[in-house]
Amino acid sequence: MSTLFRVFVFLFALGGFFNTHAAKQTNFLFFLVDDMGWADIGANGSKFHETPNIDGLAASGMRFTQGYAACPVCSPTRASILTGRHPVRVDITDWIPGQSGKAAGNPLITPADRANLAHEEVTLAESLKGHGYQTFFAGKWHLGNKGHWPTDQGFDINIGGHHRGSPPGGYYAPWTNPALKSKKKGEYLTERLTEESVKFLEDRDASKPFLLYLSYYNIHTPIQPYKKHIEHYQAKKAKMFKGKTPTQPEHEGTTRMRQDNAALASMVAAVDDSVGTLLGKLKELKLDQNTVVIFFSDNGGLSTLQRGRSGPGCNLPLRGSKGWLYEGGVREPTIIRAPGVTKAGSISHKPMVSMDFFPTMLELANLPAQPKLHADGQSLVSQLKGNDSGARTLYWHYPHYHGSAWKPGASIRDGDWKLIEFYHYKNFELYNLANDPGEHKNLAQSNPQKANELRAKLAAWQKKMNAKMPVANPDYKAPKPKAEAKIKKAATFPGKPSDWHGFALHEFQRNGVNCKVVTPKKAAAGRPWIWRARFWGHEPQTDLALLAKGWHVLYCDVADLFGSPKAVARWNDFYGYLTTTHRLAPKAALEGMSRGGLIIYNWAAANPEKVSCIYGDAPVCVIKSWPGQSRQAVWKKCIEAYGLTSEEALRFKGNPIDHLAPLAKAKIPLLHVVGDADTAVPVAENTAILEARYNKLGGTIQVIHKPGIGHHPHSLKDPKPIVDFILKHSAR
């Protein structure tokens, strides 16, 4: 062999050696943040939080706008990342220990699930370790007690991972973490986890590839400011915002409506500092070109809590919180930088989910897929290369109660459609995320066909997966309305009172909506009230008779909303306010004249347990009957409120006559007063249909006919029969 040829052979062999070696050397740095919501990073639009290092990672890799956690709480999502299996499949559907399997005074008993990740599950760490990887874990584990720690699931090293979900003893030393001793007083936990991760990178066996899994305790409660950055955010908050943080009701919870928490922002900044340090170290050690970096969180930000408190975070423009199946609970900041695969600054809009990381990482490491293991994940490599085509259906199953006021439910996302089933409330909501990412417009009533399709698809998936469902609690007793003596002092209504037929009228705005309250001279026991839907002050004889009996008369403006879901949501908020702040009775009597019929019936159908009885006066029971197409301007407003086309409105199946079943089930008595010669709201097209259907359902309805009378006058000259009906049923 000539010398030159020998050199060629040597170089060829060397090149081959390095190429194969390099191909085997794909390392992984996985950043998993705790409770960080989609909106918490600058790259996703945050103006208050500053995350230059995380944003820089996004700018050098791919950002996913629709990256999802498999569950809105910690442990299930963590299990799904490590196994590539849906939380239902690994039987961890609640945070550990959570409230699974307990009745706890609720109407549903939720299914019991595992309190740890089973040893039989093969984790990402075990799989990579089998291929010669060094595996390092630091931070929050939350997948089981001693015997089920990271070192029992394929990690060589565990720094601080144990059974609990929040840092024991807080973020500052002396802490009491059973898997990590502090070095000095005042040491900050996240800095220490970063330091240990850097040490691993420096001291590791350089001949082997690695998985570094840095699982932050930030930004989970307790919310303790990061001293290094807190002053900056306090000053920024003072400059950016004025007044109290706005909140809004979410079902039975309260949601923070502004991202303005300086302490939380400082905790986000601690994560960003750490990400910066580790990315810098990768570069310094010349590992950045063969290390895939992943950034993700396990559930949405905690923005919603119970009993009038709201959470520390805010997920706007997304709705809901950690614990909830609205987008705010499950959509996560998601970034993957895969050198040689992802284009710098690329964005993917196709949904992905936490089970996808396992198969994706195997493919990026040129390792064979193990579909029997990561059974619910899909490799994202094609997506990482810029291909967003192909359909994806995602499922969530969260049949547990949660401290964020969430009640048992499940959901499905199919294309742009998303449906949420509420087992506790026995109802469901449908959204189109393409034009309503904030999930404001529930289309369940206007598009029953799509809702039924998705409900069936979700149920079929649950059946296939053997998903455990909540069951009715036979010992549940609905709370009795509180007796007058037990009622804490009710707040005074806002607004300077004026005289209204000899009673005090308070007029005020709530969330920009005009509201009115007339208070009785002395409230009757139990603080009963009548809710007047429309046409304030018109034919007030019933209201006046009830005021004299100690009733409150309430009004919350829903004009031009025609009883649409928007109107129902507005009333839900007002109801919550009246029954908590003002301690009014938990059940209201509803009074609806003419088109007021739409709101009283639609609200009652959504809240049957909150209604004592319904009095309809020439009420509209079908939208196509009235305002009708003869009055174009009104008709246009009406169909707009529902988001229907004129044609859809004619076929609409969300009218008062269409959802009487929950009212009959709740045994709500109905009274209608109608003029037999009414041509505006003809009896035959409205009350007669409702009466026949309600009777068929076993409900009780009484109709007072006024022969020869048209749409006006409403009510009765002597309202005694109406008043007697309302008084008789008020104690139900």
Residue 98 has which token pair? 């959570």
Question: Residue 694 CB, nearest distance to Ca ion (Å)?
Answer: 47
- 329-368 residues near Ca ion, rule: CB under 5 A: none
Q: Are 670 and 700 in contact, with CB atoms under 8 Å apart?
A: yes
Tell me how far apart the alpha carbons of residues 535 and 123 are, in angstroms, rounded to a whole number. 64
Q: Are 706 and 676 in contact, with CB atoms under 8 Å apart?
A: yes
Residue 296 or residue 500: which is nearer to Ca ion going by CB?
Answer: 296
Residue 299 or residue 564: which is nearer to Ca ion going by CB?
Answer: 299
Question: Residue 78 CB, nearest distance to Ca ion (Å)?
Answer: 8
Residue 301 or residue 409: which is nearer to Ca ion going by CB?
Answer: 301
Q: Are 61 and 347 in contact, with CB atoms under 8 Å apart?
A: no
Interface characters, 17-56, with Ca ion (x: CB under 5 A): -----------------xx---------------------
3-state DSSP of 32-95: EECCCCHHHCHHHCCCCCCCHHHHHHHHCCEEEEEEECCCCCHHHHHHHHHHCCCHHHHCCCCC
Residue 299 or residue 360: which is nearer to Ca ion going by CB?
Answer: 299
Residue in the structure block whose two tokens are 């040491």? 187
Residue 140 or residue 527: which is nearer to Ca ion going by CB?
Answer: 140
Question: Residue 96 CB, nearest distance to Ca ion (Å)?
Answer: 11
Residue 166 or residue 629: which is nearer to Ca ion going by CB?
Answer: 166
Residue 114 or residue 527: which is nearer to Ca ion going by CB?
Answer: 114
- 688-717 residues near Ca ion, rule: CB under 5 A: none
Which residues neighbour 165 within 8 Å (Cβ) at sequence distance 6 or greater?
34, 74, 75, 95, 96, 140, 142, 220
Question: Residue 173 CB, nearest distance to Ca ion (Å)?
Answer: 23
- 280-309 residues near Ca ion, rule: CB under 5 A: 298-299
End-to-end CA, the chain: 104
Q: Compute the residue count for the chain.
A: 732
Residue in the structure block whose two tokens are 């196994």? 83
Tell me how far apart the alpha carbons of residues 406 and 99 are, in angstroms, rounded to a whole number. 12
- 453-482 residues near Ca ion, rule: CB under 5 A: none
Question: Residue 75 CB, nearest distance to Ca ion (Å)?
Answer: 8
Residue nearest to Ca ion according to CB distances in the complex: 74
Question: Residue 299 CB, nearest distance to Ca ion (Å)?
Answer: 5
Question: Residue 172 CB, nearest distance to Ca ion (Å)?
Answer: 20
Q: Are 637 and 647 in contact, with CB atoms under 8 Å apart?
A: no
Number of residues that bind Ca ion (CB under 5 A): 5
- 66-105 residues near Ca ion, rule: CB under 5 A: 74
H or E element in which residue 334 lies: strand 331-337
The DSSP bridge pattern shows strands 210-215 and 503-510 to be unpaired
AA letter at 719: P
Residue 35 or residue 363: which is nearer to Ca ion going by CB?
Answer: 35
Question: Residue 606 CB, nearest distance to Ca ion (Å)?
Answer: 31
DSSP code string of 616-676: EES---STTTTTTTTSHHHHHHHHHHHT--HHHHHT---SGGG--HHHHHTT--EEEEEET
Residue 298 or residue 421: which is nearer to Ca ion going by CB?
Answer: 298
H or E element in which residue 575 lies: helix 565-580
The DSSP bridge pattern shows strands 393-398 and 409-414 to be antiparallel
Question: Residue 81 CB, nearest distance to Ca ion (Å)?
Answer: 12
Residue 34 or residue 678: which is nearer to Ca ion going by CB?
Answer: 34
Question: Residue 302 CB, nearest distance to Ca ion (Å)?
Answer: 8
Instruction: Write out the residues near Ca ion by the rule CB under 5 A.
Output: 34-35, 74, 298-299
